[in-house]
Structure 1
């Protein structure tokens, strides 16, 4: 039996709003969403989950979207939450789409952040190499870890993001808390399309970054085939980490949707603000 996932729960709140379940992306964790949770929790219960092999969740073989979706359902069952709003970024967005397709009765509204329901051909070889370089370096400071990663990853923001997964072992050496071996072995499943057979007919919002290459116009037909009631909005001057790069615009879009603001009809693409 799979061990239970770790999660952050803001606690029950009597507002009538559906609980919001938040799923991070590859090499992320629930910790990445702390500032957003602080804003949401005044109006609704928020549960941010560490997906398997991430954060403080167990290291488990297998990274299929079906398996990860069932992990999340098990957390909701444990919390006795029958129906919820669901938000997922990147890999977490694919988990969210899989869960909505496999358990449509559990999801009230779906928010997908900067990912499409397709298989991606690009890889993360540089990211995996950066992790291994840190393992080899056995750094005792974050500066040393950053220097090791810089050999494989030029972008400082990416290195800072990866460094959120560094923890000290009993000897004071910085080590990765992610299940790196399991993630690397299951990477083909991570790059694959999400699971599920049918379209999810409920209300959906897909947010994409203006500077991101993850959701180009060429894949919008595939998006609508899986999410026929989707509203697609573009966050101006944002890349793939749109929630971190443009947090205010991201929050406005998510809150408007979750509060059933219907100023933009479902099924349309809203261009970025200029």
Structure 2
């Protein structure tokens, strides 16, 4: 059966959000990481759409959505609430990857009655900025003479487990090249705005009161948000479990895709 996948712009909360939607059934809101967009989750969207109504927005500042010069984590949350309202969705499961996991946690804390389950992938509960920005800052002397694009390539090369095949690494490089070719690459100013949106976030004091079934997925070799960060969140939440992918770094959806989707399916079906 052909996949019923649609793309549209929705005007919500004062901006245009580009939405990819596929499938039918219980809703599943997918939130991507910093500097990418919903197309980076194409495999999960297409695979899980056989059982769920998957909604995957390009978060503000990314992809084909409006790119304001400045915005906040609360703006992301308000965007998602307005989007759910516009789509007529009262409650949804939420899957957030890296920066998307910060938005997912903030959304659940703001409107817990709207979030049925959470899947937090390569997540952390606090930070001074995005994990990507933190790692780049830690290696600033080493990267001083590289362009912004070269710095992103340096970072991408270190996001994987040692055993991740070259074909998967090339897939990520090709994805960033495709964004450039389509005129969708983020400028240095736009990346800075996206990182500034998560300056100084900290959910640790609030998470113990958030009784929402949650699955944490961490990559054993993740240098950005290592498994200890996922374990910390699992220890704070009343109803959480964690699964550490032994052959993944920061990109388990690409490094162990079948395992990744199977874990999500099992958790959502419980």
Name the counterpart of 1:55. 63
Q: 1:30 aligns with which of 35, 38, 43?
A: 38
1:102 touches 1:196 (CA, 8 Å); kept in 2? Answer: no
Q: Which moved more, 1:116-125 or 1:78-87?
A: 116-125
TM-score by length of 1: 0.75
Is 1:208 paired with 2:218?
yes
User: How many angstroms does 1:100 deviate by?
Assistant: 0.6
Name the counterpart of 1:7. 19
In angstroms, what is the RMSD of aligned CA positions? 3.0
Which is strand-richer, 1 or 2?
2
**Equivalence map 1:173-184=2 (5 Å):** 175-178=183-186, 180-184=188-192
1:211 touches 1:238 (CA, 8 Å); kept in 2? Answer: yes
**Equivalence map 1:46-195=2 (5 Å):** 46-119=54-127, 122-124=134-136, 149=150, 153=154, 155=157, 157=170, 159-168=173-182, 175-178=183-186, 180-190=188-198, 192-193=200-201
Distance 1:78 1:236 in 2: 39
CA deviation digits over 1:213-262, x for unaligned, max 9?
3133367335532x2211011112001011111101111111100001xx
Rg comparison, structure with higher value: 1
Cα 1:114–1:133 shift into 2, 3 Å:
closer
Cα 1:192–1:57 shift into 2, 3 Å:
same
TM-score by length of 2: 0.76
Which is helix-richer, 1 or 2?
2
Report runs of 4+ in structure 1 exceeding 2 Å deviation. 61-64, 120-134, 149-165, 175-180, 185-199, 215-225
Distance 1:244 1:196 in 2: 29
Q: Which runs of 5+ in 1 are unaligned?
A: 135-148, 169-174, 261-274
Q: 2:239 aligns with which of 229, 247, 257?
A: 229
Name the counterpart of 1:40. 48
Q: Which runs of 5+ in 2 are unaligned?
A: 1-12, 158-168
